[in-house]
Amino acid sequence: MHVKASSLTIFKVRKMVGMLCGMIIVLVGIMNTREVEGRKSRISNYGEYSAINCRAHTASITDFGGVGDGTTSNTKPFQTAVDHLSQYGSDGGAMLLVPPGKWLTGSFNLTSHFTLFLHKDAVLLASQDMNEFPLIPPLPSYGRGRDAPGGRYASLITGSNLTDVIITGENGTIDGQGEMWWQKFHHGQLKHTRPYLIELMYSDSIQISHLTLINSPSWNIHPIYSSNILIQGITISAPVNSPNTDGINPDSCTNTRIEDCYIVSGDDCVAVKSGWDEYGISYGMPTKQLVIRRLTCISPTSAVIALGSEMSGGIQDVRAEDITAINSESGVRIKTGAGRGGYVKDIYVKGFTMHTMKWAFWMTGNYGSHPDDKYDPNALPTIKNINYRDMVADDVKMAARLEGISGDPFTEICISNVTISLAAKPKKIQWTCTDVAGISSGVTPKPCDAIADQGPYNNIECEFPTDPLPIDDIQVQTCSYQRMYP
Ligand SMILES: *[C@@H]1O[C@H](CO)[C@@H](O)[C@H](O)[C@H]1NC(C)=O
Ligand SMILES: *[C@@H]1O[C@H](CO)[C@@H](O)[C@H](O)[C@H]1NC(C)=O
Ligand SMILES: *[C@@H]1O[C@H](CO)[C@@H](O)[C@H](O)[C@H]1NC(C)=O
Ligand SMILES: *[C@@H]1O[C@H](CO)[C@@H](O)[C@H](O)[C@H]1NC(C)=O
């Protein structure tokens, strides 16, 4: 019975105060009485979370006609809620709570100075009706969709040109129900590119944290043309044979921090991108100043951290540390090719533990996969200053397969203090190196001559910058919120 009073949202209270000034004394009286009689239940009715910004106003999806029965579509309630709450953008911002339940929904847009908060027992279920995902144009840096030429289905949770937007919760779930999309993809039945679970474009100050993402139709989290992005405590899971279920794909983004994430998927756990061939070159927006920390990844058919393959706007200053890989195809993989243009440079990785891998290191200079036949085969990427150190790997089939581009070698590669133990049936040759150049120190098994060991008297330690990036200075605050159960 105390829950009832608590379920009055702050903005509702404010509205009532405005509309029914005469009743204010009565209302306050009721609230005080309840506070006295139910302090304990009120306290347990508050939760805390950490966020880049707390919000002054709160509402529940049920206030907008939401029904959490798993079968009623909530696309309209979500969009109505967001549109309504957008009015508080200049008045302390607003939070939309999703209570326990199964909330079926199609794509909806977020707004600025806004938090979407999922209760631990809340499940957002992606609609199986493709009409619930409006068609949007291809990304300018890609020129076409990834799955098919032309348009894309809007992502489940999306937003453009926003500032200060948070998607978080108590590890509540977003279930993409991807099976239908995977089947259509496998059978060549898609005329447009599959939706992602979360895509934010042209936005600044983004937090995506403490959520569980399962069975995405395709990529899971895709920030693009955005800056100042904090991604924390995300669990991502999809069948390891599901197509293109990449975990987190920062794409033409500046100043991004990804930490404490656990990802099992059918594609790269983190794929750093910046546009595709001639479209990415002309858009010219790199991904830079990216921090990845404390990532655990299982990706039997793909990489723990991929750089590319779409890297035509450039990738620069990536710092990854404390990474654990289990049963994955490769650790760090650079994917590029003639036609891509752009660059991958100033890459720093340290503290990487790998168990059961096909390759610890992989660089691919002939990735192929072009948007169309208009790409310029003379647009060669620059790959340089790649630093890997302090790594241990066991049950590895092959230490490294490093393949640059003929006439366009990958240079300034540095690998130090890396111990790789081989699988029961390893490859006969442990290092293959073509069109690459660099140095190594304290690496077993012995690297190829192109990455020659500098000898015990010239112990080198590959670089890892110690100065913080601006994203390291972003502070999160502890916010409290009123749990509201319908
Ligand atoms: C969502 O945002 C996109 C891009 O700004 C816009 O085209 C679309 O109409 C919006 N959808 C709704 C339902 O407001
Ligand atoms: C969003 O920002 C981009 C880049 O600045 C701009 O091209 C686009 O028109 C903006 N979209 C809207 C809906 O304001
Ligand atoms: C969310 O999951 C993380 C990692 O499993 C756990 O440490 C944390 O306590 C969980 N938080 C809540 C509110 O359940
Ligand atoms: C070598 O790497 C291991 C982790 O794999 C680390 O514990 C150790 O401190 C490193 N050694 C040096 C000399 O940095």
356 lines ligand 2 (CB under 6 A): no
Q: Is residue 327 a part of any domain in this protein?
A: yes
Catalytic residue among 267, 317, 346, 453: 267
| Residue-by-residue DSSP string for 311-369 | -TT-EEEEEEEEEEEEEEEEEEEEE--TT--SEEEEEEEEEEEEEEEEEEEEEES----
Instruction: Compute the distance from residue 417 Cα to the ligand 4 centre, in Å.
Output: 6
Structure tokens at 390: 């302090």
- Which residue has a Cα nearest atom 14 of ligand 1? 109
161 lines ligand 2 (CB under 6 A): yes
pLDDT band of residue 45 (cuts 50, 70, 90) is: confident
Instruction: Compute the distance from residue 171 Cα to the ligand 3 centre, in Å.
Output: 6
Question: Model confidence over 398-414: pLDDT tens digits?
Answer: 999 999 999 999 999 99
Q: What is the CA radius of gyration of the chain?
A: 24
Which of left, alpha, beta for 347 (phi over 0: left; psi -120 to 50: alpha)? beta
Q: Mutate which of 417, 418, 419, 462 to test ligand 4's pocket (most atoms within 8 Å of Cβ)?
A: 417
Q: Is residue 180 a part of any domain in this protein?
A: no
Instruction: Compute the distance from residue 233 Cα to the ligand 3 centre, in Å.
Output: 8
Q: Is residue 179 a part of any domain in this protein?
A: no
Question: Model confidence over 103-126: pLDDT tens digits?
Answer: 999 999 999 999 999 999 999 999
Q: Which atom of ligand 1 is nearest to the CA of 160?
A: 5
Q: Tell whether the model's pLDDT for residue 339 goes beyond 80.
A: yes
Average pLDDT of the chain, as a whole number: 91
160 lines ligand 2 (CB under 6 A): yes
Distance CA 335, CA 466 (A): 27
Peptide bond before 286: cis, by omega within 30 degrees of 0? no
Per-residue HEC secondary structure of 365-390 comes to CCCCCCCCCCCCCCCCCEEEEEEEEE
349 lines ligand 4 (CB under 6 A): no
Q: Tell whether the model's pLDDT for residue 282 goes beyond 60.
A: yes
Q: Is residue 30 a part of any domain in this protein?
A: no
- Which residue has a Cα nearest atom 8 of ligand 2? 161
Q: Mutate which of 350, 388, 389, 390 to test ligand 4's pocket (most atoms within 8 Å of Cβ)?
A: 390
Question: Model confidence over 446-461: pLDDT tens digits?
Answer: 999 999 999 877 889 9
Instruction: Compute the distance from residue 172 Cα to the ligand 3 centre, in Å.
Output: 10
Q: Is residue 230 a part of any domain in this protein?
A: no
51 contacts 475 by C-beta, under 8 angstroms: no
Beta-carbon contacts of residue 19 (< 8 Å; ≥ 6 apart):
none
CATH code (residue 429): 2.160.20.10
Q: Which atom of ligand 1 is nearest to the CA of 109?
A: 1
Question: Model confidence over 303-331: pLDDT tens digits?
Answer: 999 999 999 999 999 999 999 999 999 99
Distance CA 145, CA 122 (A): 31
Q: Which atom of ligand 2 is nearest to the CA of 202?
A: 2
Distance CA 443, CA 416 (A): 6
Distance CA 189, CA 185 (A): 6
Question: Model confidence over 174-221: pLDDT tens digits?
Answer: 999 999 999 999 999 999 999 999 999 999 999 999 999 999 999 999
Answer yes or no: 267 catalytic: yes
Q: Is residue 85 a part of any domain in this protein?
A: no
Q: Tell whether the model's pLDDT for residue 29 goes beyond 50.
A: no
Residue 42 is predicted with a pLDDT of 45
Q: Tell whether the model's pLDDT for residue 9 goes beyond 60.
A: no
For ligand 1, which residues put their CB under 6 angstroms from it?
A: 79, 109, 160
Question: Model confidence over 242-269: pLDDT tens digits?
Answer: 999 999 999 999 999 999 999 999 999 9
User: From residue 241, how far is each of 32, 186, 246, 476 by CA, in Å?
Assistant: 56, 11, 12, 36
Question: By mean pLDDT, which of 44-48, 245-249, 278-282, 432-436 is the weakest?
Answer: 44-48
Number of domains comprising the chain: 1
CA 55 to chain centre: 23
Residue 44 is predicted with a pLDDT of 58
Residue 41 is predicted with a pLDDT of 46
Question: Model confidence over 358-384: pLDDT tens digits?
Answer: 999 999 999 999 999 999 999 999 999
Question: Model confidence over 130-163: pLDDT tens digits?
Answer: 999 999 999 999 999 999 998 999 999 999 999 9
SS3 content of the chain, % helix, strand, coil (to 5): 15, 45, 35
| Residue-by-residue DSSP string for 23-92 | GHHHHHHHHHHHHHHTHHHHHHTEEEEEESS--SEEEEGGGGT---EEEEE-HHHHHHHHHHHGGGTTTT
Instruction: Compute the distance from residue 136 Cα to the ligand 2 centre, in Å.
Output: 14
Q: Is residue 349 a part of any domain in this protein?
A: yes
Residue 457 is predicted with a pLDDT of 78
Q: Is residue 354 a part of any domain in this protein?
A: yes
177 contacts 128 by C-beta, under 8 angstroms: yes
**Structural domain that includes position 328:** 268-471
